Structure 1
Amino acid sequence: MNAVISAQRSVSVTTHGRLHLGFFDLSGQPGRRFGSVGVAIAAYQTALTVTARPQQLAVDPWASAILQRHLESLALDTALELNIQQAIPRHSGLGSGTQMTLAVGAGVNTLLDLPVNSAQIAAAHQRGARSGIGIATFDHGGLVVDGGRGATTIVPPLLARHAFPQDWHFLLIMDQSRDGLHGSGEKNAFKQLSPLGSSATRDIQHLLLMQGLPALIEQDFQAFSEFVGALQSYNADYFAPAQGGPYASQSVAAILHAFQQQGYRGLGQTSWGPTGFILLPSKAEAMQQQATLLQQYANDAHLSFIVTAAVNDPSQITLNSIEN
């Protein structure tokens, strides 16, 4: 079916990357599974424009395939142009696939005067199979907790959302020499990994409710950092067999270990990595640590160090008129 667009116009969408701080149910018990904690970050964005005209500009084939799949999900045969200004790095644990999918879907739906429902868009593209935090950060920003998957779950539901303290900053450790697990490799890993014990699962869920979230709301940096460290340890025990250790990158692992020896607790790996992160109480401290690492690893071209704050705002969707 062809859609009729009343006037030539475009829609711009900007969304942010996210850190997947970890799952809190990897027990494999019947009922609900997974459940995630994540936070939107400012360092990386996906920004694109969908225009009501045939494609005139070269576009990444991966993103173009997302556009075509979305149009097919709407049963539409409509010529639209996709222009990508920025994109979150792929296979780095920052949520690039979900954010590109939601940005394209929201742009198309807004352009065609269709409802923008992130959960429905994600489900149409088979996003949110295990974690719903990317959908929640697209809609809300901040720190989010999703409820995992039950027998009839379409996408994991949002359980909690809170603003992340603006003073706290993350120092990201990027290893460009490798990718995190993704696609069929990720699916096979989840099939082969052994579930964790119910006792450890109950412990981390208790910490989430009685330490992590209260500490965030009360801006207790040390208590929240200790929760993040415990959540990361719980996840590392599960994922280690699939990635050769607690972290996907040995370079990132060495740096995180050094920070742990210095007493930092809120550190780990986002999703399958290879990106690592360290939570620090201020931008000044994060930049000081960044400068030290840049000097220490000046000869390692595959490593980069990025300071970023959290983002407490939702994605931006803007309808633009085009002058003839």
Structure 2
Amino acid sequence: MKSFNIAEKLRDLETEVGTLSPMQKILLGTDGSVTALLENALDCEVTVHTISQEVVPADKHAAVSLEIPEGEPVNHRIVTLNEGEDGKVLLYAASDTPLSRLAPSFKDDLMRADIPIGRIMRMHQIESRRELDDVRVCRAGTRVSGILGTFRHEPLLSRRYRIITGGEPLIAIRETFPCSHFTDESRVIVEAPARIHMGLIDMNGSSGRVDGGIGLSVEDPAVVIEAKRSSDIRVRSDNGNCDRIQKTAERVLTALGVQGGAEITLHRTYPGHIGLGSGTQVSLATARAICELYRPLPVREMAAVAGRGGTSGIGTAVFESGGFILDGGHRFGPSGAKSDFRPSSASGGVKPAPVLFRHPFPDDWRILLATPAIPEGASGKAEVDIFRQYCPVPVGEVQALCHTVMMQMLPGIIEKDLDLFGTAVNAVQSLGLKKVELGLQPPLVHDLITALRDTGAAGVGLSSFGPTVYAIGDTGMQDTLRTAEEVMGETGGSVVLTRACNHGAEMRAAP
């Protein structure tokens, strides 16, 4: 195995997740027993709970790590280390052990008892050394997040090592724990789902109201932000969001009348201006984290402080409650909240629209998001200019859109009628401002929509100003996924198959 510089790797981790605590560094870099370290640090018994254990053929990675032929039987064991018998889960560990290298008595203890591996080796007086070969940040995922009590997209710290005895690897182990564990500093972690914006309903304004939106919260992608108290504002983020987080933090702290600050880390996000609302979710997650550190605010008040939701209320509503959302727009005219047609980015000071309808989206409907690698959708001045040029839209199209939403889209959701709902999604693409947004897209987006409909997806549309295209169906969505990849071809892009998120952003305090 090549030499492994743990100090260098830990420095790399800190550029990604922020300062590691001394205990985290020790757990990641130790060549001794993690169980013993935890018992000494926590002053309690650390117990092992076996989640699963089975004999399986060694896959390629296990074979390389254990220096055995691929396919050789190994004992694959997944356990947690817990604080006491029924206490907090401290760490998740997966190990592989070749059966051919186990003495019968060692094998019996390994496969029958909830005993730490280090303790088993001491019981059998096996001399060994630990050889560390990997330290990294990974995403929790659905299964591990459920075990560790974290969010699915939350970052975890992970290390991999081998136990060497007699010159041969006996066991390969990967241990994983949340970034929020084993630190004395209190922090808040917020995970916020992305949203599909299906369309603005009334960009005519003759009714005395304007805007109004329909949209949907999705599980993937998502934003994860962590914050802890600080004397000033410190932001660790990609360049595209650093300024947004800084300004949001300043606004919220000023509104709260707080003299202190916050150290904020953006652990996970997705590209901006692709039609999935990352700007709103990053801003609201930042605001929520700071409010939880100092003084909680209602989501709508928090959104107004952060300057979000001035045209469409969908982003704010999915942050608050998730699911399928219909909002009622804003009063329009000289005495209204708005007197001209503007996107949310140019509607600062306007409160988020009222939610008229919120309903869980069917769990068995799948949602595909296809984002071709082409120039981002309209934003900033370009988006403002589009609103000025194309609004007001014909009132007849607004009326047709309202009819489609009321008599097809909403009943389709409530009655779980996928075909009816899909028919409405398809109809929306040729009405109102959505027709304008779609008309401004390059040919590839139009080809993508046509091709996905041809696969049998019930409804296919453009999210916001694109270029992300969404498709909704139940069975056969793998074919839809493959078609999306084929159509994007050499242009490239991302394809995600996900589900609706029927809850709002989630927050947890740690440790």
Give the deviation of 1:296 after TM superposition.
5.5
Give the deviation of 1:83 after TM superposition.
1.1
Q: Match for 2:237 among 59, 66, 71?
A: 59
Q: Match for 2:394 among 194, 197, 201?
A: 197
Q: Which one-letter code corresponds to 1:138 in the other structure?
A: F
Paired with 2:485 and 2:382, the residues of 1 have a C-alpha distance of 32
Check conservation: 1:247, 1:253, Cα contact below 8 A: no
| Percent of pairs with identical residues | 28
In the alignment, is residue 148 of structure 1 matched against residue 329 of structure 2?
yes
In the alignment, is residue 312 of structure 1 matched against residue 490 of structure 2?
no
Give the deviation of 1:93 after TM superposition.
0.8
1:18 is matched with 195
Using CA pairs under 8 Å that are at least 6 residues apart, name the structure with larger relative contact order, 1 or 2. 1
Paired with 2:397 and 2:421, the residues of 1 have a C-alpha distance of 19
In the alignment, is residue 39 of structure 1 matched against residue 216 of structure 2?
yes
Q: Match for 1:269 among 437, 458, 462?
A: 462
Paired with 1:309 and 1:233, the residues of 2 have a C-alpha distance of 25
Q: Mark the CA change 1:203 to 1:318 in structure 2 (over 3 Å): closer, same or farther.
A: same
Check conservation: 1:168, 1:281, Cα contact below 8 A: yes
Check conservation: 1:50, 1:82, Cα contact below 8 A: yes
Check conservation: 1:247, 1:274, Cα contact below 8 A: no
Q: Mark the CA change 1:296 to 1:219 in structure 2 (over 3 Å): closer, same or farther.
A: same
1:1-324 equivalences under 5 Å are: 8-53=185-230, 58-60=236-238, 61-62=242-243, 63-112=245-294, 114-150=295-331, 151-152=336-337, 154-235=351-432, 238-240=435-437, 246=439, 248-261=441-454, 264=457, 266-282=459-475, 285-295=476-486, 297-301=488-492, 303-321=493-511
Q: SS at the partner of 2:381?
A: helix
Q: Mark the CA change 1:184 to 1:82 in structure 2 (over 3 Å): closer, same or farther.
A: same
Q: Which moved more, 1:189-198 or 1:213-222?
A: 189-198
Paired with 2:224 and 2:266, the residues of 1 have a C-alpha distance of 6
Give the deviation of 1:159 after TM superposition.
0.7
Q: SS at the partner of 1:233?
A: coil
Q: Mark the CA change 1:57 to 1:108 in structure 2 (over 3 Å): closer, same or farther.
A: closer
Q: Which moved more, 1:149-158 or 1:229-238?
A: 229-238
Check conservation: 2:313, 2:327, Cα contact below 8 A: yes
Q: Mark the CA change 1:236 to 1:260 in structure 2 (over 3 Å): closer, same or farther.
A: farther
Q: Which one-letter code corresponds to 2:462 in the other structure?
A: Q
Give the deviation of 1:239 after TM superposition.
2.0
Q: Mark the CA change 1:137 to 1:190 in structure 2 (over 3 Å): closer, same or farther.
A: same
Q: Which one-letter code corresponds to 2:479 in the other structure?
A: Q
Q: SS at the partner of 1:40?
A: strand
Give the deviation of 1:236 after TM superposition.
5.5
Paired with 1:85 and 1:174, the residues of 2 have a C-alpha distance of 22
Write the deviation string for residues 131-169 of structure 1: whole angstroms up to 9, x where unpaired. 001111011111011101112462100111111011111
Paired with 1:292 and 1:228, the residues of 2 have a C-alpha distance of 20
Q: Which one-letter code corresponds to 2:444 in the other structure?
A: S
Paired with 1:184 and 1:297, the residues of 2 have a C-alpha distance of 28
Q: Which moved more, 1:64-73 or 1:213-222?
A: 64-73
Paired with 1:281 and 1:292, the residues of 2 have a C-alpha distance of 16
Q: Mark the CA change 1:132 to 1:231 in structure 2 (over 3 Å): closer, same or farther.
A: same
Paired with 2:257 and 2:383, the residues of 1 have a C-alpha distance of 30
Give the deviation of 1:122 after TM superposition.
1.4
Paired with 2:235 and 2:310, the residues of 1 have a C-alpha distance of 32
Q: Mark the CA change 1:30 to 1:235 in structure 2 (over 3 Å): closer, same or farther.
A: closer
Q: Mark the CA change 1:104 to 1:58 in structure 2 (over 3 Å): closer, same or farther.
A: closer
Q: SS at the partner of 2:203?
A: coil
Q: Which one-letter code corresponds to 1:102 in the other structure?
A: L
Check conservation: 1:50, 1:83, Cα contact below 8 A: yes
Check conservation: 2:218, 2:501, Cα contact below 8 A: yes
Give the deviation of 1:85 after TM superposition.
0.9
**Number of corresponding residues:** 307
1:3 is matched with none
Check conservation: 2:200, 2:434, Cα contact below 8 A: no
Check conservation: 2:193, 2:218, Cα contact below 8 A: yes
Give the deviation of 1:298 after TM superposition.
4.4
Q: Which one-letter code corresponds to 1:258 in the other structure?
A: A
Q: Mark the CA change 1:99 to 1:296 in structure 2 (over 3 Å): closer, same or farther.
A: closer
Report the TM-score, using the length of structure 1 for normalisation: 0.87
Q: Mark the CA change 1:73 to 1:188 in structure 2 (over 3 Å): closer, same or farther.
A: farther
Check conservation: 1:236, 1:247, Cα contact below 8 A: no
Check conservation: 2:370, 2:484, Cα contact below 8 A: no
Q: Mark the CA change 1:30 to 1:296 in structure 2 (over 3 Å): closer, same or farther.
A: closer
Give the deviation of 1:65 after TM superposition.
3.1
Q: Which one-letter code corresponds to 2:503 in the other structure?
A: D
Q: Which moved more, 1:72-81 or 1:96-105?
A: 72-81
Q: SS at the partner of 1:98?
A: helix
Check conservation: 1:175, 1:249, Cα contact below 8 A: no
Write the deviation string for residues 225-276 of structure 1: whole angstroms up to 9, x where unpaired. 0111112221456525xxxx52524322211123345665511110011111
Gaps of 5+ in 2: 1-183, 338-349
1:4 is matched with none
Check conservation: 1:111, 1:319, Cα contact below 8 A: no
RMSD, aligned α-carbons: 2.2
Gaps of 5+ in 1: 1-6
Give the number of the structure whose alpha-carbon radius of gyration is greater. 2
Give the deviation of 1:64 after TM superposition.
2.7
